[in-house]
Chains A and B, each alone.
Chain A
Amino acid sequence: MSKKLSNKVEDSFPNGEPVNISRRRFLLSSAGVTAGAFVLGFGLPLGKARAQDGGKVTPGTRVPAFLEIRPDNTVRLQSPFVEGGQGVWTAMAQIVGEELDADPKSFVVESAPAGQDYLVINNVMRITGGSNSVRSSYTTMRKLGAMARHMLLQAASTRLNVPVEQLSTEPGYVINTSSGEKTSYGSLAKDALDLETPDPDSVKLRDPSTFRWIGKPVDRLDIYVKSTGKAEYTIDISVEGMVHAAVQHAPRLGLDVASISNEADVRAMKGVMSVHRLPGAVAVVAERWWHAKVAAEALQVEWNKRDMDGVKFRYMPDDFSTAAFSDRLANEPGDGKAAEEEGDIKSAFSDATTTVEATYHSQFLHHGQLEPASTLARFNDDGTLDMWMPNQAPEQFQAQIAKLTGLSAEQIKVHSPMLGGFFGRHFLYPEANPYPQAIQLAKEVGRPVKVIWSREEEFLRDPLRPMAAVKFRGGLDADGMPVALEAISVTEGPSEANSGHDPDKVDSFAVEGLTGKTYAIANRRIAQNYVEMPAMLAYWRSVGHSMNDFFYETFLDEMADKGGQDPYEMRLALLKDNKRLTTLLKSVVDLSGGWKRGPFSADDGSQRARGVGMASPFGTESAAIAEVSMKNGEVIVHDVWEAIDPGSIVNPAIIEAQVKSAAALGLSQILMEEVIYEKGEPTARNYDLYPILRPDQMPQIHVRIIESGAKMGGIGEPGLPPVLPAVANAVSTLTGQRVRSMPLSNLRFES
């Protein structure tokens, strides 16, 4: 038997009877907003919005595009940012609720549809990435809440016939300060319908000293649903009449189907409805995904090289190996293109007492988010297309789908369900997103189709964190202090890999973390020597910082050793004119109970050592200390202490959780992760051969948050970069061997 599934998505808005729906829908559609099933609680300031910017909406200003206040006083917020574990929906509720004067607990948050209203990053862009969400939208979202409160006060003034000066609010209510009468926001929302949204610059924001929710460890809104299996991810979504699809990708990029030798047999397999040829893949459609998967894997396909003329996609040669490629990067001639230059590196090196040279390596990595990629496409009778897909950039996906289908953007409704992890996986990447497959299949079968990539197909097409080889040269003065540093990274950055390489430019994402360091080393040259890679490349949590701070901070220890310096004391000396970083570094040492490099004997008899690392990622400063030992040749990380200074904060509990999460991913990278290619194919297609950090390998992570008052920085990524060098430096201290490559599981230690 099979239970008939209702159209869960559109049935999922059971509360809050819509008010004056036809008018609002008309207004929204006439203003170019693709709101779909979104209905509004109150008014739309069309005149004003249109007056600005030649009729274009100023993002983050139209209250009704973001907020619905229901009769039961719950607040439905359309978040410009997608929730994937980083806690952004809760942060948005805290920020808007603080100014609206509504408890974040009363919020129901969802991903906003695609639309101009939501391009709140510098009023031009909307992505969930780069640790941008809160810091880029903080003021805009506060103003939005304040504007909504203003409108509710105006509506109450009219209804109660009292001057607005006589009204105040408490969470969820307008208060008549003379009579004490309380009027709920929910009952006023309808009256506010035709009020004009105030000028965002006219509303007064709260004095931060009176914040009730911003800056507090407010509970996350999505914890209960995620603890009880009720949270819905793209892979879980069903619509009426939907069928399932599974794919078998070509084993290498740049191949297409030449022939299928057993198509008739596969068509006859249990449950199979149809077999399809897609660019670089074959697919099977069935009523059940399991049938589709078994059949897709059974297809015997001859692949041939795609005609690559004018195609941006990459071709993976059948002799590509990561081991050989790593050697090639290390031996690539050239000084590269400078990304950062300071002082006079040439004379600094000729004057240096000692010179240190070393080449460092990083590896390809998988995102490894536990929810494999999937997409559901549904063509509707009115010519519109609904797309449910994991994505970090709804408008960018919408624009690509418009190109692909010939539909206008307004006809494409982008749904952005919660993400079962992302870490950079769900941006637009050629050949790495299932949406073109879902669209083609939905067209060919005339029914809604959900494509799910098996873990094996996911790992075959997951775009990778780039590899790099970094050639370092350091110069020390007579006191053993660094006076010159050169780093040439031989690599390809994720931005140039996806948007095209500009020979006149350095991809800043390729070198960040080598650049932007604040140590007082007077003469520096940081450069990128571009080498194109045959694999698809991607952003990966903390992007360039995910490897570059490992390189830099580990080489810094190497210089300290050569110069006979203690690595902590040397960092302090190099930061002596930087109060913020000095405070940060001393804080992490204090958190760890004082600097104790080792090696020393622990209570359990093991020999241990500690290392330190720092990073300046995404507008935030972070520093970590790790304590390690060795057991049977394997590195054990016992504790990590991490201090983070994001300037100012919204939710300390979420920050602590994010730092621990980022630290875990960093540990996983340095301890064990590596995507290996041989003969053009990855040797691992699942977690059995691509192990990730297990629970028993997780150290206790201790977090201290510092609010220096500096400009607000990011949170999702900055916890990751300093952990890697902290571990590597501790291992070097313990074993006496330098660590110049990842993962540590590849290295043999004599201990």
Chain B
Amino acid sequence: MKLSINNKTYDVDAEGDTPLLWVIRDNLGLTGTKYGCGLAQCGACSVMVDGVVTRSCVTPVDSVEGQEITTIEAIENDPVGKRVVEKWVEHQVPQCGYCQSGQVMAATALLKEIENPTQDDVDAAMVNLCRCGTYNAIHAALKDLSGNEGDAS
């Protein structure tokens, strides 16, 4: 089947029920998208499908045929994604970093949908787990990105 990932078309040899995550990681070698739980619990595998944040570990690959998939590798090609990365760096968000591909994806998808999200919008959208507890820094970066004053305290 054909998959469009990061504006490139790939001819993928995989069964239709293979999770998108493993096609991205193993078949295509794009390892920026992470495996954490395989149950859509942690969000480390988040990608965008037509701009909507999607947990690729439970997404059958045949369900996204014909849609545009964006992975972390192309995040800076998106103007919103580029801003998110800049603020992630400015607020020094990551620690171990393993969940951060998914966090950046979730933040980008949120800001693409709602330019100036409220705190409630942020709480509703930013639900990915981070075992290092970078949640304060994520919120500070998102406040900054939302046009509110960043609060890194």
A289-B26, A454-B38 known; A660-B136 Cβ under 8 A: yes
Show 8 A/B contacts (Cβ-Cβ < 8 Å), sorted by A: A3-B27, A87-B95, A223-B93, A235-B31, A370-B42, A421-B98, A454-B38, A695-B138
Complex alpha-carbon distance, A700 and B136, angstroms: 6
A612 to chain B, nearest CB (A): 20
Contact A3 B28 (CB under 8 A): yes
Contact A85 B95 (CB under 8 A): yes
Q: Which of A666-704 touch B at CB < 8 Å? A: 668, 686-688, 692-696, 698, 700-702
- B145 within 8 Å of A by Cβ? no
B137 to chain A, nearest CB (A): 7
Residues of chain A within 8 A of B132, CB atoms compared: 85, 421, 661, 664
Q: Which of A334-385 touch B at CB < 8 Å? A: 368-372
Q: Which residue of B lies closest to A288 (CB)?
A: B26
- B12 within 8 Å of A by Cβ? yes
Q: Which residue of A lies closest to B26 (CB)?
A: A288
Q: Which of B82-140 touch A at CB < 8 Å? A: 85, 88-89, 92-101, 104, 123, 126-139
A84-B96, A288-B26, A687-B42 known; A235-B35 Cβ under 8 A: yes
- A657 within 8 Å of B by Cβ? yes
A219-B92, A228-B76 known; A290-B19 Cβ under 8 A: yes
Q: Which of A417-462 touch B at CB < 8 Å? A: 418-423, 452, 454-456
Residues of chain B within 8 A of A219, CB atoms compared: 89, 92
Those 6 A-B pairs whose CB atoms lie nearest each other, nearest first: A229-B32, A664-B133, A226-B97, A85-B96, A420-B98, A229-B72
Residue from B29, B35, B41, B134 in contact with A3 in the complex, judged by beta carbons closer than 8 Å: B29
Contact A229 B75 (CB under 8 A): yes
Contact B94 A85 (CB under 8 A): yes
Contact A2 B98 (CB under 8 A): no
- A212 within 8 Å of B by Cβ? no
A227-B100, A370-B131, A455-B36 known; A222-B123 Cβ under 8 A: no
Residues of chain B within 8 A of A622, CB atoms compared: none
Residue from B72, B96, B129 in contact with A420 in the complex, judged by beta carbons closer than 8 Å: B96
- B54 within 8 Å of A by Cβ? no
Complex alpha-carbon distance, A423 and B127, angstroms: 22
Residues of chain B within 8 A of A231, CB atoms compared: 97
Residues of chain A within 8 A of B34, CB atoms compared: 233, 235, 370-371, 420
Contact B85 A236 (CB under 8 A): no
Q: Which residue of B lies closest to A719 (CB)?
A: B133
- A108 within 8 Å of B by Cβ? no
Residues of chain A within 8 A of B13, CB atoms compared: 1-2
Complex alpha-carbon distance, A193 and B39, angstroms: 54
Residue from A86, A232, A288, A668 in contact with B95 in the complex, judged by beta carbons closer than 8 Å: A86
A622 to chain B, nearest CB (A): 16
Contact B131 A688 (CB under 8 A): no
Contact B31 A227 (CB under 8 A): no
Residues of chain A within 8 A of B42, CB atoms compared: 370, 687
- A230 within 8 Å of B by Cβ? yes
Contact B31 A236 (CB under 8 A): yes
Q: Which residue of A lies closest to B75 (CB)?
A: A228
Q: Which residue of A lies closest to B94 (CB)?
A: A226
Residues of chain A within 8 A of B88, CB atoms compared: 223, 227
- A5 within 8 Å of B by Cβ? yes
Contact A693 B96 (CB under 8 A): no
Contact A421 B41 (CB under 8 A): no
Complex alpha-carbon distance, A370 and B42, angstroms: 8
Q: Which residue of B lies closest to A664 (CB)?
A: B133
A228-B75, A370-B44 known; A290-B123 Cβ under 8 A: no
